[in-house]
Amino acid sequence: MEGEEKMKSEKEKMLSGEVFKVNGSTLVVERGHARRLVQSFNELGEDQPAKSRALIRELFGHVGNGCEVHPHFRCDYGYNIEVGDDFFANYDCVMLDVSPIRIGDHCLLGPRVQLYTINHPLDPRLRRNGAYGQSFDITLGNDVWVGGGSIICPGVTLGDNVVVGAGSVVTKSFGDNVIIAGNPARIIKKNSYRE
120 annotated active-site: yes
Sheet holding 94-96, edge to edge: 74-75, 94-96, 114-116, 151-152, 169-170
Examine residue 184 and say whether the peptide bond preceding it is cis (omega within 30 degrees of 0). yes
Q: What single letter denotes the amino acid at residue 164?
A: V
Catalytic residue among 33, 70, 72, 120: 120
Instruction: Please give the sequence-ordered ranges of beta strands (E in DSSP) within the chain, or none if there are none.
Output: 20-21, 62-63, 68-69, 74-75, 81-83, 88-89, 94-96, 101-103, 108-109, 114-116, 118-119, 132-135, 138-140, 145-146, 151-152, 157-158, 163-164, 169-170, 178-182, 185-190
- Catalytically active residues are 120
